[in-house]
Amino acid sequence: MRNKELTYKQIIETAYVMFSEKGFDQTSLSSIASEIGISKPAIYYYFKSKDELIKSLFEIIAKEIQSITFMDLETITPANFKQNLYLLGENTIKHQEKDHHFNHLFNQYMLLSTRDKDYSERLVKIQQHFLNTFHDMLTHGVKIKAIKDENILIKSQLLALVFDNITNFILTDMTLDFIKIWREAVDSVLNGIVNDEQ
């Protein structure tokens, strides 16, 4: 007799890894089951279909993105503004270099979204949230007079694009100095609009 919560947790965790490594289609429910040491129908006790299991994982990913890109604006001052932008990138880069599964899965949902309207709408919202995070950050910078109010919208979109693609490039075997690239991006974008730079 197994523990109910344990089994549920094992299915989620095993699916997370296997889906990321082999893809949704190439990972059968039986292979997930045998990896855990249970039978295939046991999975159907927890999830009414394979699609629902895939959807459950999406919810987990979506929540993780929220927490990764969270920024507490209250702690930002003109003195530490640029440093905080550096850190936002550096922390994420270090996090992604440890867990490749996250981005592999996310890419698969991106592909799913082209033929599934639900995923499409959810992903647009996530990307929007993502863009907003950087826009809020720069807007806050203007408000506390850390930077000048010049082209803030486009500049924040540019930062979001760089940030997002750094995580994609980490997945390939490219060995670039991503932290340096991110710092160059922040420096370039803020160049000329930073106040009080000595």
Partner DNA sequence: GTCTATACAGCGATAGAC
Partner DNA sequence: GTCTATCGCTGTATAGAC
Binding residues (CB under 8 A) for a second copy: these are 21-23, 25-26, 104, 107-108, 110-111, 113-115, 120, 123-124, 127-128, 131, 151, 154-155, 157-158, 161-162, 164-166, 168-169, 171-174, 176-177, 180-181, 184-185, 188-189, 191-192
Quote the CA–CA distance of 168 and 101 in Å, as a whole number: 12
Please give the structure tokens belonging to residue 22.
């082999």
- Residue 28 interacts with, from a second copy, DNA, none (CB under 5-8 Å by kind): DNA
Nearer residue to DNA within complex by CB, 79 or 111: 111
The DSSP symbol for 147 reads B
The DSSP symbol for 73 reads G
> Phi then psi for 163, rounded to 5 degrees?
-55, -50
- Residue 180 interacts with, from a second copy, DNA, none (CB under 5-8 Å by kind): a second copy
Quote the CA–CA distance of 162 and 169 in Å, as a whole number: 10
Instruction: Give yes or no for a contact between 35 and 44, defined as CB atoms under 8 angstroms apart.
Output: no
Residues contacting residue 129 through CB under 8 Å, at least 6 positions apart:
65, 66, 69
- Residue 154 interacts with, from a second copy, DNA, none (CB under 5-8 Å by kind): a second copy
Please give the structure tokens belonging to residue 44.
């159907």
Q: How far is the CB of 20 from DNA (least distance, A)?
A: 15
Which residue, chain included where needed, has tokens 């996250």? 102
Give the burial string for 98-125 (b: 16+ CB within 10 Å, else e): eeeebbbbbebbeebbeeeeebeebbee
Single out the residue of 21, 49, 128, 149 in contact with DNA (rule: CB under 7 A).
49
- Residue 93 interacts with, from DNA, a second copy, none (CB under 5-8 Å by kind): none
Instruction: Give yes or no for a contact between 147 and 195, defined as CB atoms under 8 angstroms apart.
Output: yes
Using CB under 7 A, count the residues that bind DNA: 24
Tell me if 30 contacts DNA by CB under 7 A: yes
The 156-185 site mask, x for binding DNA (CB under 7 A), equals ------------------------------
Residue numbers of the site for DNA (CB under 7 A)? Answer: 1-4, 7, 27-31, 33, 37-42, 44-46, 48-51
